[in-house]
Amino acid sequence: MLEINIVDIEDPLHEIVRSGGAFLMVPVDGDDPAIFICRRFADALTQDELRAVVAHEEGHYVADHLNAVGSGIHTNQEFEFAADDYAVEKMGSAKDLLSAIYKTAEFTMNVVLPETLGDDWDDEVRAVARELTDAVLNPRIDRLKARLHSESQT
């Protein structure tokens, strides 16, 4: 059973977890991978969105992506697609994962980056950040939208 940890601001892991909202990783002092979710991100999600996010991270675990990349942080797009597919299967719909991904983007743009960059966060940086965030998330959003569309056809 995968452990799920909600990480608060006092936790040393907070910064890394906050940066992505949710991660599957092996804690430095532990042996087993676990799911870590930033509390502020979790609080922004509905119950079902949170379940979808957990299912996505579980998808990384089930497919053994951690060992495949040798790190707690997964950036490989194929892995993201695979974990999304697992979550959609488990949730029975793409709906909640899709809305959770939109919230991930908002969390990055409205919380993580402004707080991290402080005075350096201006319109120009915001525009670049928006482009990068979209570049990372849009392929997943497009796939989930297509999935949702096919759900509505059946």
Nearer to Zn ion, 49 or 80 (CB): 80
CB of 106 to Zn ion, least distance (A): 17
- How many residues line the site for Zn ion (CB under 5 A)? 2
35 binds Zn ion per the rule CB under 5 A:
no
Q: Which of 25, 37, 83, 98 contacts Zn ion by CB under 5 A?
A: 83
Contact region for Zn ion (CB under 5 A) — 40-48, 82-90, 94-102, 123-131?
Answer: 82-90
CB of 128 to Zn ion, least distance (A): 23
Q: How far is it, in rounded angstroms, from Cα 14 to Cα 3?
A: 17
What is the 3-state composition of the chain as percent helix, strand, coil, each rounded to the nearest 5? 70, 10, 20
CB of 92 to Zn ion, least distance (A): 19
Closest of 130, 123, 88 to residue 109, by C-alpha:
130
Contact region for Zn ion (CB under 5 A) — 6-14, 30-38, 78-86, 133-141?
Answer: 78-86
Which tokens sit at 143? 């796939």
What residue type is assigned to position 129 of the chain? A
Q: How many Cα atoms occupy the beta-carbon half-sphere of 12 within 13 Å?
A: 3
3-state secondary structure at position 5? strand
Which tokens sit at 67? 């060992």
Nearer to Zn ion, 26 or 114 (CB): 26
Question: Where on the chain is the footprint of Zn ion (CB under 5 A)?
Answer: 80, 83
